[in-house]
Amino acid sequence: MKNFSYPLTKIGIVGGGQLGKMMAQEAKKMGFYVTVLDPTSESPAGQVADREIVGDFYNEKKLKELIESSDVTTYDLENVDTKVFKEFKNRGYKIFPSPETLETIQDKYVQKKTLAEKGIPVPDFKKVESEEDLKSFGFPVVQKARKGGYDGRGVFVLKSEEYISNAIDGETFIEKFVNLEKELAVLVARNIKGEVKIYPVVEMVFDERVNICDTVVSPARIDEKIDETAKKIAIETVEILNGVGIFAIEMFLTKDGEILVNEVAPRPHNSGHHTIEACLTSQFEQHIRAIASLPLGSTEQIIPAVMINILGEPGYKGKPVIEGLDEILSIPGVSFHLYCKKETKPFRKMGHITVVDKNLKSAIEKANKAKKAIKIKGEEKI
């Protein structure tokens, strides 16, 4: 039997956004000591951490300070310096998911190639080396930046040849445009010993104005065979990547009933926020357990759930002003999460709500009502 003293483990988190915040909250609940590195002071995660270090994610000195003062280091975003991570890993520091896993995922082209070579179904893809390459799959076609994209930034749909003049510069690849029936996501946790736990498959619905995942429905309304296939592919994907921590596998369900992996996130994900209220172990606690080498928790979902992102209202910026809070909190089963970002911007992820209800249909109805009522505006009009 192992004995533990307080704090359990000192955890360093690179990135102080909402994912880091919810990770830090769960870690602190269990008695971990949390340090956060973010370019801005009092970041969402910095506000709840024991200690914050202010610095850029590529600032070697600051990364060193974080890693050296932590027993294990993790991150809430992919855009991190893997070179520095590797150097520290080689010197014996614990970094999870590993810098090698992160490196493969960071470059979306390498990620796709790695998975495709091991037999994971993905949309047809091709590296872009010349303008001609953009035409290889005909139109429409999806062009993606290899690195640095998120929330639809770095993804461009070329509807016809005329769109080529607006194509993304830099290192990119193209993907066949998939006729989507639904977008699904599966969260998989894997710890250092290789123990694996999987969450129920969820449906992601997108705000078409900005291509940001807007609503998550859990469990997904799909038939059993698709559910099984999605789960099998998700576990294989995390094993191929040798992942440690929580991983989100974004998938496409095509009109022909096929499952294709779109992309993988090596961290807690927007498609798993509902696990805080709806599952026995949240994705954030699970991630902390995995990287701290503790047994993983049950992923059982105890009640259906719908999660809605609250995006900054277009036309406003500056200090956030919340409208409709009384109304949404009067609906039974609604939980409100505010990320406490200092400033709002159009479509910035400012918070989310989770609605739980024994009946999924009525959770969806309540969520739609809440979505209309809640708004985050800013003190300044733009």
Ligand X SMILES: Nc1ncnc2c1ncn2[C@@H]1O[C@H](COP(=O)(O)OP(=O)(O)O)[C@@H](O)[C@H]1O
Binding site for ligand X (CB under 6 A): 123, 142, 144, 149-152, 155, 175, 177-178, 180, 183, 206, 211, 250, 262-263
Q: How far is the CB of 105 from Mg ion (least distance, A)?
A: 12
- Residue 183 interacting entry, from Mg ion, ligand X, none, C-beta within 5 to 8 Å by type: ligand X
d(CA 39, CA 131): 37
Place of tokens 């309540």: 366
Q: Residue 12: which residues within 8 A CB-CB, separation 6 or more?
A: 34, 35, 36, 37, 66, 67, 69, 70, 72, 73, 74
- Residue 59 interacting entry, from ligand X, Mg ion, none, C-beta within 5 to 8 Å by type: none
For ligand X, the nearest residue by Cβ is 178
Q: How far is the CB of 118 from ligand X (least distance, A)?
A: 19
Q: How far is the CB of 180 from Mg ion (least distance, A)?
A: 13
d(CA 301, CA 275): 8
Q: How far is the CB of 142 from ligand X (least distance, A)?
A: 4
- Residue 211 interacting entry, from Mg ion, ligand X, none, C-beta within 5 to 8 Å by type: ligand X
- The answer to whether 87 touches 81, Cβ cutoff 8 Å, is no
- Residue 175 interacting entry, from ligand X, Mg ion, none, C-beta within 5 to 8 Å by type: ligand X
Measured between its terminal Cα atoms, the distance across the chain in Å is: 60
d(CA 58, CA 77): 13
Q: How far is the CB of 359 from ligand X (least distance, A)?
A: 28
Which residue intervals of the chain are DSSP H helices? 18-29, 60-68, 82-90, 99-106, 108-117, 224-240, 275-278, 283-291, 325-329, 360-373
Binding positions for Mg ion, 235-254, rule CB under 5 A: 250
Closest CB to ligand X among residues 54, 142: 142
Closest CB to ligand X among residues 110, 142: 142
**Chain positions contacting Mg ion, by CB under 5 A:** 250
